[in-house]
Amino acid sequence: MTENYKEFASRIKEKIILKERAVSDRTLDKIPYTAVNGRFDDKSDDKNINWWTNGFYGGMLWLLYHETGDERYAERAEKIADKLSVCFDRFYNLDHDMGFLWLPTDVASYRLTGNKDGRRRGLLAANILAGRFNPAGNYIRAWNDGIGKENGPTSNVGWCIIDCLMNLPLLYFASEETKDPRFKHIAVRHADMAIKNFLRADGSVNHIVEINPETGEFVQSFGGQGYGLGSSWTRGQSWALYGFLLSYLHTGEERYLEASKKVADYFVSQIPESGLIPVDFRQPAEPAYEDSTAAAISSCGLIELSKAVSDPKLKEKYLDAALKMLKALSDKRCDYDPETDNLLSHCSASYHANEHHFPIIYGDYFFMEAIFNLAGSDFSIWK
């Protein structure tokens, strides 16, 4: 990493810390998903407490706590974790996103403070995630019945999604913490299944795959949140790039590093000159939908990948690509004003959604993670 990269990251890190101090004083007990007119909403109500993004603001607070040592961030993050604990009583609403909910909250709390409640709830979440594993098809089931009917069958018992690769670190945590390899075995089998059924020859990936839950045979893939069948949803590419790499970091198995590199090489080849990432690499030119979250997530993956590879040219390639996107976000899509709650703009949940180019909390989280990592932070939610 050149000194120029460090200077950039350190400068942006200070802007983020200054902004987030004011934001956290306003947000207090909220669990935000988006912002309206510069103010965060709150998903901690009874109806939305199990929403899949509800761990990311807690993750931001723990990153801030680690970097500043300010106890206010730890106290507010613990309140979020306490609120999320009610989700365990609502078992029917829990799905494959257990890692997104409990790694940035309770597991982070345990790792940084030794909080025994964080350990207990993290292991409980890992057991629930492991319970979704189908050994016939070697996959962790995505969602529950009734979700995504427009894309396929009424029952999605055979569905799995590329996003789940990012939830596997919860299982690796459980194995490492308990010295019980069962959780790791499930994670490895799902990751291997993803290489077989999600990763395409050119390095792009499917979003949703259906597997026969009785026989384990591949049935079909769906366009999911991308433009359409066979397209290249960029946030899915980002989950794959980072997710495969995390399996490599937890297991040391070279096949996951090679899978991450394959996705990364494809992703880097598709980055527009502007550095701003579309919702789908194969979408029409108009409307020109963007997804800043895909840029932030893939930057995190590329930074970690640059550390994992030994070839100096690959290190430079991946790091340069991450910096190109991060600088584009910082210059064109970031609001550092402490009076505005959200950090990133121009985020999109999916191509065919009714709304585009709005703030989404995991965009803010992954942008912060990428910048703090570049600036030298030694703490990771996922490792």
Where helices occur in the chain by DSSP H, the ranges are 3-27, 56-68, 71-84, 98-102, 108-113, 116-130, 168-178, 182-197, 234-251, 254-270, 292-308, 312-332, 361-374
> For residue 116, is it left (φ>0), alpha (ψ between -120 and 50) or beta?
alpha
Cis peptide before 287 (omega within 30 of 0): yes
> Sign of torsion, CA 236 237 239 240?
positive
* The two three-digit tokens of residue 107, written as one number: 């597991």
Verify whether residue 25 is a known catalytic residue: no
Q: Which of 40, 178, 53 is nearest to 122 (CA)?
A: 178
Q: Rounded distance, CA 28 to CA 26, Å?
A: 6
The DSSP bridge partners found for residue 222 are: 208
What are the C-alpha distances in Å from 339 to residues 40, 41, 130, 365, 369? 11, 15, 42, 18, 21
> Sign of torsion, CA 372 82 359 21?
negative
Q: Rounded distance, CA 232 to CA 237, Å?
A: 7
Strand 159-161, strand 139-140: pairing: unpaired
Active-site hit among 95, 97, 280, 341? 97
* SS3 of residue 213 by DSSP: coil
CA 86 to chain CA centroid, nearest Å: 23
Active-site hit among 25, 42, 95, 163? 163
Residues acting as catalytic residues: 97, 163
